[in-house]
Amino acid sequence: MAILLSAARRLPESAQDAKEGRWGTWSPTGWLGADLRGAQLGIMGMGKIGKAVAERARGFGIRLAYANPAQIESDAAHLPLEELLQTSDFVSLHCPLNASTHGLIAEKELKMMKRTAILVNAARGAVVDCEALLRALTQAWIASAVLDVTDPEPLPASSPLYTLKNCLIVPHIGSATHGARRRMAEIACENLLAGLAGEKLPHCFNPEVYEL
């Protein structure tokens, strides 16, 4: 939500302009951003993280939609990916990286999106075709993109994506709070201790192994 809000309100660009002396008198058209209330947030991947994003987004009056292999119990609209891309003002990616999602958002998909849309990738870098994204941002297929993950990762400093005002890139900091990182360490320790004791892992990524 932090990077979505930052992109919607053009915070990095406006802060840089202020720092570099381009902030003159108040202008009614200066640094206009996107409204959240009444806009549609399309969530690709309504798992644990996608649901958490939806929960936080509701407080901003955003309409929610999601694309998921399976329909879940939710007040958000369940849409095919194509319709989600065509109708959403914000598209936030939270799907796992696998054979079916590698390069999922490429030229075809980016051209489906609104020219005013903002893309947020908080999933895995390779879910988005970075070369296609560069063309989308330079040729105004979409308004802007925010990347917490990239392909490759870390993204080399020479990448042209860093030069674009409509692309915000942060170094995979989605879980970078003291509380979240502490809980991640605790979960790892709980799994380790259970495994050493020959017990079922309490936080198993692939619980189906216990059914074999």
Which of 9, 58, 78, 172 is labelled catalytic? 172
Which of 153, 186, 190, 199 is labelled catalytic? 153
- Statement to judge: residues 142 and 159 lie in one domain: yes
- Statement to judge: residues 146 and 195 lie in one domain: no
pLDDT recorded at residue 212: 76
The Cα-based distances of 163 to 137, 148, 154, 166, 211 in angstroms read 11, 16, 16, 9, 50
Q: Is residue 17 part of a domain?
A: no
- Statement to judge: residues 153 and 93 lie in one domain: yes
- Statement to judge: residues 161 and 183 lie in one domain: no
- Statement to judge: residues 183 and 162 lie in one domain: no
Give the Cα separation of 134 and 140 in Å (integer): 10
Q: Is residue 26 part of a domain?
A: no
Q: Is residue 141 part of a domain?
A: yes
- Statement to judge: residues 185 and 154 lie in one domain: no
**What global pTM score does this model have?**
0.91
Q: What is the CATH number of the domain that holds 136?
A: 3.40.50.720
Picking from 131, 61, 129, 53, the residue whose alpha carbon sits closest to that of residue 94 is 53
- Statement to judge: residues 117 and 202 lie in one domain: no
- Statement to judge: residues 152 and 194 lie in one domain: no
Q: Residue 121, by phi and psi: left (phi above 0), alpha (psi -120 to 50) or beta?
A: beta
102 is catalytic: no
The pLDDT tens digits of the residues spanning 13-54 come to: 999 999 999 999 989 999 999 999 999 999 999 999 999 999
Q: Is residue 201 part of a domain?
A: yes
Q: Is residue 20 part of a domain?
A: no
The total number of structural domains in the chain stands at: 2
178 is catalytic: no
Distance of CA 147 to the CA centre of its chain: 7
Which residue segment(s) compose the domain that 69 sits in? 2-10+33-169
124 is catalytic: yes
Q: Is residue 117 part of a domain?
A: yes
Contacts of 176 (CB under 8 A, 6+ apart): none
Low-confidence ranges of the chain (pLDDT < 50): none
- Statement to judge: residues 125 and 185 lie in one domain: no
Give the Cα separation of 76 and 85 in Å (integer): 15
Q: Is residue 23 part of a domain?
A: no
- Statement to judge: residues 82 and 184 lie in one domain: no
- Statement to judge: residues 184 and 158 lie in one domain: no
- Statement to judge: residues 165 and 190 lie in one domain: no
